[in-house]
């Protein structure tokens, strides 16, 4: 995706899929604005990109579950005016039954996955529409197509898919591309929390795990092809299809609930 001099803003850019987006876009000459909570990680990524002779990224520390931080990033996007790509990647996971998880965590997840993505998208679109050029990638999950597992996580990711599909239809004649990126298991720090760490030890086949670099390559390729939904990997395309099919979804649900126990 060679786009020298153009500006991209990536949330959740300090690790995993967000970091992979930063490195691959930087290699294409993009000028980056990297947003995350961890200054040390952002500065390290920025130095490594600059050391390759590439444009040095701007870094912004912000926890998008907090109103003041979200408003700051929102205003930055409006003031920038020339943003060509927004990657709404910031997110987190949790495991367990709905009533067993503190409701504040559910609200934080909705704030980060849904509210922040909607507000940043709303801030970015006017300038993109006026230029008839730009793109927004909302990082969802294959879990969006499988409504069993973690209630709020799956629901927020499903929102991002529907949001992206509907927005893409609305912007069809405006020159702005929208994508919902829906990866399956990806080897990132996402699964390093105590809640999700058991997935690391569970005997899942190695071929079910994708690297963030591969996920991002698939996303960038799909964006160039104007694909609204990007599901990296044939296996996960099948999972999404089974989850949406009324005949096969009960079987898939059985295995998901069994694993959850």
Q: Which residues are catalytic?
A: 153
Cα(222)–Cα(230) distance, integer angstroms: 6
Residue with the two structure tokens 């998901």? 256
DSSP 104-154: HHHHHHHIIIIIHHHHHHHHHHHHHHHHT-EEEEEE--GGGG---SSHHHH
Cα(127)–Cα(83) distance, integer angstroms: 8
CB neighbours of 7 closer than 8 A, spacing ≥ 6? 30, 31, 32, 33, 80, 82, 83, 84, 85
Cα(60)–Cα(200) distance, integer angstroms: 31
DSSP 8-state assignment for residue 50: H
- What is the torsion angle, in degrees rounded to the nearest 10, for the CA atoms of residue 12, residue 32, residue 88 and residue 13? -10
206 C-beta neighbours (distance < 10 Å), count: 7
């Amino acid at each position: 995706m060679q786009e020298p001099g153009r500006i991209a803003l990536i949330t959740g850019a300090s690790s995993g899929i967000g970091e992979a987006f930063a490195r691959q876009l930087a290699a294409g000459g993009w000028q980056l604005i990297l947003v995350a909570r961890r200054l040390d990680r952002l500065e390290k990524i920025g130095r490594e990109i600059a050391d390759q002779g590439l444009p040095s990224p701007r870094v912004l520390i912000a926890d998008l579950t907090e109103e003041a931080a979200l408003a700051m990033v929102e205003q930055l996007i409006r003031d920038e005016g020339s943003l060509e790509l927004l990657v709404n990647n910031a997110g987190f996971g949790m495991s367990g039954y709905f009533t067993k998880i503190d409701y504040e965590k559910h609200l934080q997840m909705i704030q980060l996955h849904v509210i922040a993505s909607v507000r940043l998208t709303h801030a970015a679109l006017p300038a993109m529409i006026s230029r008839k050029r730009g793109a927004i990638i909302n990082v969802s999950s294959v879990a969006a197509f499988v409504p069993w597992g973690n209630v709020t996580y799956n629901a927020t990711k499903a929102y991002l898919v529907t949001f992206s599909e509907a927005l893409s239809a609305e912007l069809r004649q405006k020159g702005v591309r929208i994508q919902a990126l829906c990866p399956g298991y990806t080897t990132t720090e996402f699964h390093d929390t105590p809640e999700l760490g058991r997935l690391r030890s569970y005997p899942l086949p190695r071929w079910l795990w994708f690297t963030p670099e591969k996920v991002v390559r698939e996303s960038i390729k799909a964006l160039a092809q104007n694909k609204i939904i990007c599901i990296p990997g044939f296996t996960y395309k099948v999972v999404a299809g089974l989850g949406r099919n009324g005949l096969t979804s009960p079987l898939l649900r059985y295995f998901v609930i069994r694993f959850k126990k």
